[in-house]
Chains A and B, each alone.
Chain A
């Protein structure tokens, strides 16, 4: 059967090209903008403050040279790219942000935020190093409460519980919708490629009207279900099924995903911050809102957390649910936490799932594409 692509993808093809103009328009209408880099930023609080929350650029190679004028060269490409974009004003979302919210995640990022604070209003949330103890939870709740106060005073507004509940409900609905979309990847042949799925998840950050985005995703889900009924796939039936995990691989930094699919395998799940990480847990709507928000965000299973058992369990679970044939763990050069955790994850998956595992350490450049192709092809040959 011929391999085809869903028509509703056209919405998401255009999301990023349109985003700059639509944000500019929002600004002209007097809307305030809060920029964030990371999944730990509690977006509900920004929404409840009446601001628009936008993701900031960090996934292109081009600004890295500008980042390296200030940052060490052996930093991870994501941090160098973020800083290069910011310092040159090449990221329109950074430019239009009234406040940047960062978190003390990895060493590279928290020190970069200190430099960034010299030229941009910045609030850095203190994050504990683990999500396991009561003390961790209290510490983070205090950070979330502080963020609320900072937003209230920066934008001279009051964040009410009612507005928080509304924002929680809205984002929960979106998370459930994205979960429904991701579940379609359990079908063989996959009705959408992993690269297109990534594009949808990434586009989420560039469509500022949450309702509009939900409608686009609903349309896509409807179309994909029809495709599945007709047996239409984005990749051949029986394609090897790969779960990708590790560092964020947003658009511009998706080369490993592209190579996997060029080699004929399907990326059936993207377990990282550009993929499903923010959508797998909901905010408990029955609890008091700030506490519930704090709980959800602290449960983000990032490698900056020590230890990080939630990631191990989640990847293990996803691999069985999505019938994975193998796991590809992607690590940016200079990302020590994901790099070390790769060994822990490999051993865990060996024991729990007995799955082949490929560790890939790379950066944003195209210089190693041929070497990566050889590795990925060899990995797929091993699965055959």
Chain B
């Protein structure tokens, strides 16, 4: 079969990180780099690095499928597909049989119902707003004097988080500062933040009637307190696969591969 020597790429240009996946029908490998002020360059550089790690030149890559916010702006792309379609496909690769995907990225959140083969049957996305996204966590971590990577570790796991009422990142920041001034502990505030995001995401997801198995993907999925809070809100098991952050680029690379097989056939 001709396609044995093919390598295809998936590039997910998100607001916070660029992800690249390469695939040859057997081996699948992923790379990640924080998005710079020039996402196009970050993506191009990461693709070059991935090819070199793989042991090929960039010209040897048969096709490059792009997804994520930056997908429209990438000259080297063979095709662009939305992150909703790609996340569903990627998630069903990471966890075959998955029926619902909740993806929380840097600046949006979405809930997707997935059919067999990773096809989307329904989805919902949050509004043009940072509420319930990675950006929200970043702003709140700053207000608590933490880096966003430290936020999960500084969270009370006792489900005794305080109540945070504002979902607007700007108002919630004032609320957090108010709570700090009242002497509420940082772990309780952090737990409250995760709880409020989880409540917001759960009510959004309710519109597509989530069913298990349910996967949490995207950069925010690595915040364990959020996963736990979501389980409490949804009353469902929430699975975070190890490559959760790569669901989009994996979906893109798999679509690139499928299309190539179809052309060959």
Contact = CB atoms under 8 A, between A and B. Distances in A.
Contacts of A368: 127-128
B43 to A, nearest CB: 17
Interface in A333-384: 356, 361, 367-368, 370-371, 373-375, 377-378, 381-382
A365 to B, nearest CB: 9
B196 interface: no
B127 A361 contact: yes
B120 A375 contact: no
A374 B121 contact: no
Contacts of A381: 81-82, 84-85, 120
B85 A378 contact: yes
A371 B128 contact: yes
Contacts of B127: 361, 368, 371
Contacts of B69: 370, 374
Given A370-B69, A371-B108, A378 B82 contact: yes
A374 B125 CA distance: 10
B246 interface: no
A374 B195 CA distance: 28
Interface in B103-153: 108, 119-123, 125, 127-128
Given A367-B128, A368-B128, A374 B120 contact: no
B83 interface: yes
A375 B125 contact: yes
B128 A374 contact: no
A371 B128 CA distance: 7
Contacts of A367: 128
Interface bracket on A: 10 to 19
Given A361-B127, A367-B128, A381-B120, A374 B83 contact: yes
B166 to A, nearest CB: 16
Interface residues of B, number: 16
A378 B128 CA distance: 17
B108 A378 contact: no
A128 B52 CA distance: 71
A248 B69 CA distance: 29
B82, B84, B119: which has the most chain A beta carbons within 10 Å? B82
A367 B127 CA distance: 11
Interface string A184-227: 00000000000000000000000000000000000000000000
Nearest to A333: B127
Nearest to A356: B122
Interface SS, A side = helix
A374 B122 CA distance: 14
Nearest to A382: B120
A247 to B, nearest CB: 16
B228 to A, nearest CB: 29
Nearest to B125: A375
Contacts of A378: 82-85, 120, 123
Given A382-B120, A382-B121, A377 B128 contact: no
Contacts of A373: 72
Contacts of B72: 373
Interface in B28-81: 69, 72, 81
Contacts of A370: 69
A374 B110 CA distance: 11
B69, B81, B108, B122: which has the most chain A beta carbons within 10 Å? B122
A152 B10 CA distance: 70
Nearest to B255: A381
B108 A377 contact: no
Given A378-B120, A381-B120, A371 B125 contact: yes
Nearest to B123: A378
Contacts of B83: 374, 378
A382 B72 CA distance: 19
B125 A382 contact: no
Contacts of B121: 382
Nearest to B83: A374
Contact of B85 (A361, A371, A382): A382
Interface string A98-110: 0000000000000
Nearest to B69: A370
Nearest to B121: A382
Contacts of B122: 356, 382
A370 B13 CA distance: 14
Contacts of B120: 378, 381-382
A371, A377, A378, A381: which has the most chain B beta carbons within 10 Å? A378
A262 B108 CA distance: 23
B87 to A, nearest CB: 10
B164 to A, nearest CB: 22
Contacts of B85: 378, 381-382
A378 B108 CA distance: 14
Nearest to B80: A377
A378 B127 CA distance: 15
Contacts of A375: 84, 125
A100 B121 CA distance: 47
A259 to B, nearest CB: 13
Nearest to A373: B72
A371 B107 CA distance: 10
In the complex, the 9 A-B pairs of residues with the closest C-beta atoms, listed nearest first: A378-B84, A378-B82, A368-B128, A381-B85, A382-B120, A377-B82, A374-B82, A371-B128, A375-B125
Interface of B: 69, 72, 81-85, 108, 119-123, 125, 127-128
Interface of A: 356, 361, 367-368, 370-371, 373-375, 377-378, 381-382
Given A374-B125, A378-B84, A382-B120, 6 more contacts: A356-B122, A373-B72, A374-B82, A378-B85, A381-B84, A382-B122
8 contacts: A361-B127, A371-B108, A374-B69, A375-B125, A377-B82, A378-B84, A381-B84, A382-B123
